[in-house]
Amino acid sequence: MTSDHPTAATLRRIAHLDMDAFYASVELLRYPQLKGLPVVIGGSRRREDDLLGRLREAYPEHAWSAENLSEIPLDFFPRISGYTGRGVITTATYAARQFGVGSAMGVMKAAKLCPDAILLPVDFDQYRHYSRRFKAIITEIAPVMENRGVDEVYIDFTEVPGGQREGGRVLARLMQKAIFEDTGLTCSVGVAPNKLLAKMASEFNKPNGISIVHEVDLEQLIWPLPCRKINGIGPKAEAKLATHGIHTIGELAQRDRTWLMEHFGKSYGAWLHDAAHGQDDRAVEISSEPVSISRETTFEHDLHAVRDREALGAIFTRLSAQVADDLQRKGYVGKTIGIKLRYDNFQSVTRDQTLDHYIDQATDIRHAAGQCLKRVDLTRRLRLLGVRVGSLMKREDWQAQGLRSQEAPASPYTESLFGDIDAPHG
């Protein structure tokens, strides 16, 4: 279902709402004593029992529980100085970002930039809880909302009462206030004629800011920005644009559409031209079906397919089981099964195969994913492994069509084996 197109009497106003340093902000609700300090989230999953156990050992005179975590002394929290391992930062507070620390950065690298930063483990259950809360508040105010992840959404303001006032600022301010009063969390909002510009605008005044962009603001607010600020221009495209002397969105906008199509391909070149001119007709999708469901993990240290076969086999089985659980919980079956590997030199490879029947069982997924392993180089050490299921169909539709799950051939694998690989394959 999509939002209705605006009438001729209204201007299209689309908002992009982005929670500010979401994971870190949720953790600061739990540990308010860390506000204003450099904090990074990542490295491992939160285990509250372990935390409470260490607290009781360190401060036996105190009755520690989940209710008084705000009383933990600052010197108890671990710093990232001296961290060793393959952990990756999920997010960081703004105080840590001032040192150059950011999401997707290795914790060891962050430790060199900001050794005194406090390291907290991730708690995805808590983040999902607050994600559901702030999205429920939004849909009470403006029902046409598109999920874009745990911490960001698009919202169609066009026909919502107040959505046109001050270009959408009044409604954005109302949402910020309602979310903060309910959760204690702040967010930044950009409002513009479309998704493309709204997402860019939401970055203008972080944290806790509101930015309004109209079509007439394109030359002043958008064109001076670097090309990479357009969602859809990645590092490779940015580098190629730079070879042609194109560094800003304004410089991109000056290039002829035909020239861009000749140098960047017909489809992508046309899109580059439209994006540089702030054109985007995409609707706000109230519900969108997932393209695929996947699970992956980065290892604490590099593993080898043969020497660490038992450990990799257990991880491979666990990932397959998690994907199967996600499929069943969300009500899907799929028939394109794939794997993702990242080697110790950070090169990533993917392989997949499409079956002639739909599956959602862990053993079937593992079997099909194991076949994909035979088509990759396993002579090099690995730092990441992932399992994916695509070509999804709703389970009820699958059942309604009278389709039946066909059992995959009996799997020769056991949990201790990484597929049926006995020797490296090229």
One-character DSSP codes across 142-173:
-S-EEE-SSSEEEEE-TTSTTTTGGGGHHHHH
Q: What average pLDDT does the chain have?
A: 85
**Which strand (E) or helix (H) includes residue 382?**
strand 382-390
Q: Out of 103-112, 292-301, 396-405, pick the least confident.
A: 396-405
405 token code pair: 């799950």
pLDDT value at 348 more than 50:
yes
Q: Out of 42-56, 103-117, 372-386, pick the least confident.
A: 42-56
- Amino acid making up residue 167: G
Nearest to 132 by CA among 182, 174, 206: 182
Q: What is the pLDDT of residue 134?
A: 94
pLDDT in tens, 285-315: 886 667 789 999 888 788 988 888 888 988 9
- Please name every residue paired with 152 in a beta bridge, in sequence order, or none if there are none: 18
pLDDT in tens, 276-285: 999 999 999 8
For residue 372, the SS3 value is helix
Give the pLDDT mean for 192-200. Answer: 96
CATH number of 22-122: 3.40.1170.60
pLDDT value at 406 more than 90:
no
284 token code pair: 């706000």
Domain-by-domain residue ranges, the chain? 14-20+126-215, 22-122, 223-276, 292-400
User: Are the CB atoms for 308 and 300 separated by under 8 Å?
Assistant: no
User: Are the CB atoms for 202 and 189 separated by under 8 Å?
Assistant: yes
Nearest to 206 by CA among 33, 22, 13, 345: 22
User: Are the CB atoms for 342 and 391 separated by under 8 Å?
Assistant: no
CATH number of 223-276: 1.10.150.20
Fold of 292-400: Dna Ligase; domain 1 (3.30.1490)
Distance CA 137, CA 146 (A): 14
Q: What share of the chain is helix, strand, coil (3-state, %, to 5)?
A: 40, 20, 40
For residue 212, the SS3 value is strand
pLDDT in tens, 225-250: 999 999 888 888 899 999 999 999 99
Q: Which of 48, 140, 146, 152 is catalytic?
A: 152
Active site residue 310: no
Q: What is the pLDDT of residue 403?
A: 52
User: Are the CB atoms for 192 and 224 separated by under 8 Å?
Assistant: no
- If you write DSSP's letter for every residue of 191-205 in order, what string do you get? EESSHHHHHHHTTTT
pLDDT in tens, 110-139: 889 999 999 888 887 888 889 889 999 999
Distance of CA 345 to the CA centre of its chain: 23
pLDDT value at 405 more than 70:
no
Strands 210-212, 348-359: pairing kind:
unpaired
Distance CA 31, CA 46 (A): 14
pLDDT value at 377 more than 70:
yes
Helices 266-276 and 257-264: angle between axes, nearest 10 degrees: 140
* CA distances, 307 to each of 48, 238, 351 (Å): 34, 40, 22
Task: For 343-369, give one letter per residue: b (16+ CB within 10 A) or e.
Answer: beeeeeeebbeebeebbbbbbbbbbbb
Strands 145-147, 118-122: pairing kind:
unpaired
| CATH 3.30.70.270, domain 14-20+126-215, yes or no | yes
